[in-house]
Amino acid sequence: MTLEIADSLRAVDVAELKRRAAALGFDVCGIAAIAEYPELGFLSEWLARGYAGEMHYLHRSADRRGDIRAVLPSARSVISLGTIYNVARPYSTENADPRQASIARYAWGDDYHTVIQQRMDALVAWLREQAGPALETRAYVDTGPVQERVFAQHAGLGWIGKNTCLINEEHGSWLFLSEVICNVQLEPDQAAFDQCGDCTLCIEACPTGAIVEPYVLDSRRCLSYLTIEVKGAIPPEHRSSIGSHAYGCDICQEVCPWNAQPAGPDQPGSPWLPRARFDGRSIAELWRTPDAELRASLKNSAMSRAGLLGLRRNLAVCAGATGDAEALSALRQVDEPACDDPIVAEHVHWALELQDD
Ligand code: B12
Ligand code: SF4
Ligand code: SF4
């Protein structure tokens, strides 16, 4: 039955598909065949070692993440897409001002889930015009049970580096990944090959030793996990290492030689430009911002994942971990409703107590 449906599909011109993807705003596009790639097998051991921490959804969906046919049984190809989100702002490692709240650059602008999903919807609509009504697809951007970097590597978009990020030879790793899984047979691209060589800069630069061996990351130590994925209290033993990281972390990408090229000038209207509220602001300044204004600035941004309470919790930890006098005094003075949340209040207490020790 599946074959009959697939047989009734019209052929799709891959060169034309890639032109269409570029016109829709995707910076790189490649095709991966459906296959049992060896890299898909690393996930089960990674989970067994506990590296997912409290991201239980990764355990629940592990079977589907290991086999893309469990996501779409008729799948024949994966159209892998990369979208550059870098903008011209200094790297956190270049910033000499420790009072500044560090926010990962992927989260500065509009929520990439929404922006990229809309572009993929347009690509799928075009694909349907080409292939006909028997087309079956699943389109995801960080939202589906798919090991996106593995398919991106096999689609030729780049290689999985020792920092575990997908690195494109031309553009570096400031790329959102997304994919359209479809039942159309498309000519696959060559897989990208590893160009890390004997470099170990990312492993040495990680402030918490989260890259436990080349290509293997223990999320429980990663500042991105601690500030975004941990939903309640941040384990006290990790708080001091958070420094000024108020949301996510970019260090292992900033030190990567493949990200040394500067971003182009700001493109007016780019969805990835930082929102004014978060553009180069200090920890104290953000803490002093009223809840209503912070909430409004988080709306439709990727930072909404941690929400207002998560952001306040993280800012309190940043104040304590950096020992920034202005931020600590702000913690004592500001009394917005979110500051009374028990989790936030406990982190404020931790930050203030730390200075008394
Ligand atoms: C869970 C998750 C996280 C977790 C765990 C990250 C991780 N490295 O696994 C946390 C919260 C820490 C995280 C952080 C970040 N994330 Co994240 N995350 C994901 C998610 C949802 C799943 C990743 C996953 O499956 N991990 C499981 C492990 C096993 O996979 P892996 O690390 O990719 O490992 C591969 C290789 O390292 C290699 N490998 C593993 N073990 C071994 C062993 C040996 C011996 C060898 C040779 C190879 C090898 O094979 C693995 C593939 O199976 C993906 C979206 C998706 N659905 O894929 C986004 C995704 C990976 N994240 C993304 C981003 C942007 C980030 C951050 C940059 C955000 C930030 N600035 O704070 C950081 C980067 C941290 C880092 N160095 O990876 C992007 C990455 C884009 C890119 N260019 O690579 C993705 C693809 C989302 C997207 N759609 O754009 N993330
Ligand atoms: S994102 Fe930061 S904490 Fe996480 S592995 Fe990279 S450098 Fe380490
Ligand atoms: S810093 Fe070096 S080892 Fe790490 S991902 Fe980049 S090239 Fe690879």
Q: Which ligand is nearest to the CA of 173?
A: 1
Mean pLDDT over 149-160 rounds to 98
The residues lining ligand 2, judged by C-beta closer than 6 Å to any ligand atom, are: 163, 206, 208, 210-211, 217, 222-224, 249, 251-252
356 pLDDT higher than 90: no
Report residue 1's pLDDT band, with 50, 70 and 90 as the boundaries. very low
pLDDT at 42: 96
107 neighbors 303 (Cβ within 8 angstroms):
yes
Percentage of the residues of the chain whose pLDDT score is greater than 90: 92
Quick one: DSSP state of residue 67? -
Distance 164 CA to ligand 1 centre (A): 6
Mean pLDDT over 125-145 rounds to 97
Higher per-residue confidence, 356 vs 283: 283
Strands (E), the chain: 28-33, 77-84, 102-103, 137-140, 159-160, 166-167, 175-182, 211-213, 216-217, 245-247
Partners of 182 in beta bridges: 77, 137
2 pLDDT higher than 70: no
Report residue 95's pLDDT band, with 50, 70 and 90 as the boundaries. confident
pLDDT at 7: 58
Whether the full predicted model's pTM is greater than 0.85, yes or no, is: yes
Q: How far is CA 344 from the centre of its chain?
A: 24
Go through 180-211 and write b for each residue having 16 or more CB atoms within 10 A of its CB, e for each that does not.
bbbbbebebbebbeeebeebeebbebbebebb
Distance 149 CA to ligand 1 centre (A): 7
Q: Using CA atoms, how far apart are residues 166 and 32, in angstroms rounded to an integer?
A: 15
172 lines ligand 3 (CB under 6 A): no
Mean pLDDT over 123-127 rounds to 98
Q: Using CA atoms, how far apart are residues 264 and 85, in angstroms rounded to an integer?
A: 11
Mean pLDDT over 97-102 rounds to 93
Ramachandran area for residue 297 (φ above 0: left; ψ -120 to 50: alpha; else beta): alpha
Sign of CA dihedral 200, 206, 209, 211: negative
Report which protein residue has its CA nearest ligand 1's atom 35.
Answer: 164
Report which protein residue has its CA nearest ligand 1's atom 6.
Answer: 219
List, for residues 188-209, the tens digit of each pLDDT value.
999 999 999 999 999 999 999 9
Task: Report the chain's mean pLDDT, rounded to a whole number.
Answer: 95
Report residue 357's pLDDT band, with 50, 70 and 90 as the boundaries. low
Report which protein residue has its CA nearest ligand 3's atom 5.
Answer: 161
Mean pLDDT over 266-291 rounds to 95
Q: What is the amino acid identity at position 215?
A: Y
Q: Please choose from 159, 163, 165, 253 the residue to mutate so as to test ligand 3's pocket, defined by most ligand atoms within 8 A of CB.
A: 163
- Phi, psi (degrees; rounded to nearest 5) at 244: -100, 20
Distance 171 CA to ligand 3 centre (A): 14
Q: Using CA atoms, how far apart are residues 82 and 180, in angstroms rounded to an integer?
A: 12
Distance 218 CA to ligand 2 centre (A): 10
Task: Determine how β-strand 137-140 pairs with β-strand 102-103.
Answer: unpaired
| Ligand 1 atom with the shortest distance to the CA of 229 | 11
Q: Quick one: tokens of 265?
A: 């000038």
162 lines ligand 3 (CB under 6 A): yes
Report residue 117's pLDDT band, with 50, 70 and 90 as the boundaries. very high
Distance 248 CA to ligand 3 centre (A): 19
Place of tokens 């024949």: 76
Question: Can 291 be counted among the known catalytic residues?
Answer: no
List, for residues 4-37, the tens digit of each pLDDT value.
455 589 999 999 999 999 999 999 999 999 999 9
Higher per-residue confidence, 262 vs 6: 262
Q: Which ligand is nearest to the CA of 259?
A: 3
pLDDT at 315: 98
Q: How far is CA 113 from CA 54, 92, 106, 109, 120, in A?
A: 22, 24, 11, 11, 10
The residues lining ligand 1, judged by C-beta closer than 6 Å to any ligand atom, are: 39-40, 42-43, 46, 55, 104, 106, 141-142, 146-150, 160, 163-166, 173, 175-178, 215-217, 219, 222, 224-225, 229, 248-250, 252
Report which protein residue has its CA nearest ligand 3's atom 4.
Answer: 202
Choose the catalytic residue: 110, 142, 194, 291. Answer: 142
Task: Determine how β-strand 102-103 pairs with β-strand 245-247.
Answer: parallel
